[in-house]
Amino acid sequence: MSRKYLIAGNWKMNKTPADGADLAKEIAAFVTKDESVEVVICPTAVALDRVSSVIEGSAVKLGAQNLYPKASGAYTGEISAEMLRAVFAKYVVLGHSERREYFGETDAFVNEKVKFSLENNLNPILCIGETLEQREADETLEVNKTQLLGGLEGVSEEDMPKVVIAYEPVWAIGTGKTATPEMAQEVHAAIRSELAAKYGEAVAEKVRILYGGSMKPANADELLAMKDIDGGLIGGAALDAKSFSDLIASAR
Ligand code: 3PY
């Protein structure tokens, strides 16, 4: 497989800038310059600048947790792509289920953000995933297909290698429950085949599909062993240097 594993820490609304800087320092010390795994950390907006300074010159990359799809202006509380680039962010998490659930983000809005991030040289990590109710109603593949294709509407074939997909079953987020490797692989394979149908096999083979939802050192090896799982978008286990470095080690 030619895809490089990606381990991305989604810190959510945790860590002050000072605490984030301490954690980033520990992570940067662990990640080597010739790292076989791509490592990204996504602090809160107020910690981005400080964390960026700490990881400067290391192999750790910076990601943001959101952006607003307009260049600038009267959008109180929002953050632009230019601001993210100014702190050297490379990635941006978009469409996380928490944003869909608590902030009413729709596929159409997530799609605007995905396109805007690509136009502004930021790599989107597009999150998709079904709820427990949807899984129990046997709608898993359909729901993920709708969110995937909705989020990628109008994204060109040339841009696709810059896009990362994160499959995060909502019922496995913050619950301690994880999809079994086989359950996750089934959805990852379906995502890749949707990508192949839309963009062709060669493009689909290049796109990294991360698993998210209570990925931790105890289950990472078996998840990462699956053919179509190319890394993880990590929640709680990314907040601790030891568990995050164990996850990186699992991906090496
Ligand atoms: C989790 O693992 O809890 C996540 O939501 C990662 O984004």
Residue 128 resides in a domain: yes
Give how far Cα 214 sits from Cα of 67, 162, 179, 209, 217, Å: 24, 25, 9, 16, 10
Residue 96 resides in a domain: no
Residue 156 resides in a domain: yes
- What's the structural domain count of the chain? 1
DSSP string, 53-108: HHHTTSSEEEEES---SSSSSS-TT---HHHHHHTTEEEEEES-HHHHHHS---HH
> What pLDDT does residue 204 have?
97
Cα atoms found within 13 Å of the Cα of residue 28, Cβ hemisphere only: 18
Tokens encoding 6: 């990606």
> What pLDDT does residue 1 have?
53
Residue 235 CB less than 6 A away from ligand 1: yes
Give the domain extent around 159: 6-27+123-251
Residue 168 CB less than 6 A away from ligand 1: yes
> What pLDDT does residue 33 have?
85
Residue 145 resides in a domain: yes
Q: Give the domain CATH number at 234.
A: 3.20.20.70
Report mean pLDDT in 10-residue bins for the chain, 252 residues: 91 98 97 91 98 97 98 97 98 97 98 98 98 94 98 98 97 83 96 98 97 92 96 96 96 94
* 184 residue type, one letter: A
Cα atoms found within 13 Å of the Cα of residue 51, Cβ hemisphere only: 29
Global confidence as pTM: 0.96
* 121 residue type, one letter: N
Ligand 1 centroid to 212 CA: how many Å? 5
Residue 161 resides in a domain: yes
Residue 48 resides in a domain: no
Residue nearest to atom 1 of ligand 1 (CA): 235
Residue 57 resides in a domain: no
